[in-house]
Amino acid sequence: MSSASDPLAALAGLPGVADSVDSVRKAVDRVYGHRVMRRRSGEITSEAALRGARGSAALSGADWALEEVRRRTDFGAEPEALTVGAALRLTAEAGQLLSIWRQSPLRVLARLHLVAVGSTAEGDVVGRPRLAGEPVAEPLVEAPLPGADEVAGRLAGLSRIIIAGGSAPALVTAAVVHGELLALRPFASYNGLVARAAERIVLINSGLDPKAICPAEVGHAEQGAEAYLAAFEGYLSGTPEGVAAWIGHCGRAIELGVRESTAVCEALQRGAA
């Protein structure tokens, strides 16, 4: 497929992106080769899901300690608790939507928003892109909000690219899906959580991280909101340098997620977790 019909593949040729792709692949291969993965991969997956949800919630304004997330069972009416609960539900749901993603990504995104909102859903704004004039409640991101028509057009374009497939590395596709959803903020709420859940789906579904043990959300949170927003501004700029910087930032997030899961593997090996 040519770069004209496979625009994501063209992004892989941006300066520094090939190095990021190679570094991510080597990091992922190392953790998958850990001896603990041969017999306790399910435990690593579960722990990565919990830590990934905590990291995603932190970027959406609910920066809870890991043990608090682990211990809590009630994610009721308080805004931070609702955010953490939404992040946990999204992480659990992502693995159930893999077979649908390549055929109907917009259906998956709608489902992710429904899951994020959960039992607090009210009105008809849940699970569909916003209409003209409808407000968006989104912490952290203050970039100009695209109009509803632009949102619909760009979502349709993103969907076509995903369905068509292509030769782009998983990191590039995941970063673009994440960045585009964050830029569009298509839903009335929880767009950051949905964008990071979609990134997770791409990384799993691509085969880069089939067991979901490399939580990029951990790395995004670890790098901090300021760095996250600075890299995102690069994506919004649309310049080759800015987009490459965003892809590199997402690659570093995956590597930090790998480091987190490697530490879990080491702890399990020592019998300390």
Reduced to 3 states (helix: H, G, I; strand: E, B; else coil), residue 140 is coil
Which long-range contacts (C-beta less than 8 Å, at least 24 apart) are formed by 20-24? 20/171, 20/247, 20/248, 20/251, 20/252, 21/169, 21/171, 21/172, 21/251, 23/251, 23/255, 24/171, 24/208, 24/251, 24/254, 24/255
Summarize pLDDT for 219-237 with one digit per residue, the tens: 999 999 999 999 999 999 9
Q: How many CB atoms lie within 10 A of CB 243?
A: 21
CA–CA separation, 68 and 84 (whole Å) = 10
More confident residue, 3 or 127: 127
* 75 band by pLDDT with thresholds 50, 70 and 90: confident
41, 212 in Cβ contact below 8 A? no
> Binning pLDDT at 50, 70 and 90, where does residue 73 land?
confident
Mean pLDDT of 248-273: 92
Q: Who's near 67: CB < 8 A, 6+ residues apart?
A: none
The two structure tokens encoding residue 64: 């809870």
pLDDT of 2 reads 37
pTM of the model: 0.94
Strand, helix or coil at 147?
Answer: coil
- Residue 28: the pLDDT is 98
DSSP secondary structure code for residue 1 in this structure:
-
Q: What is the pLDDT of residue 271?
A: 83
pLDDT tens per residue across span 168-190: 999 999 999 999 999 999 999 99
Q: pLDDT > 70: what percent of the chain?
A: 96
- pLDDT at position 77, please? 77
Phi-psi region of 49 (alpha: psi -120 to 50; beta: other; left: phi over 0): alpha
pLDDT at 157 exceeding the cut of 50: yes
Residue-level pLDDT at 3: 47
**Which amino acid, 263?**
A
Q: Residue 182 corresponds to which tokens in the numbers above?
A: 């964050």
249 token code pair: 């930032």
Mean pLDDT of the chain, nearest integer:
93
Q: Please report the pLDDT score of residue 119 as a whole number.
A: 67
Is the pLDDT score of 78 beyond 80?
Answer: yes
**Distance between CA 224 and CA 59 in Å, rounded?**
8
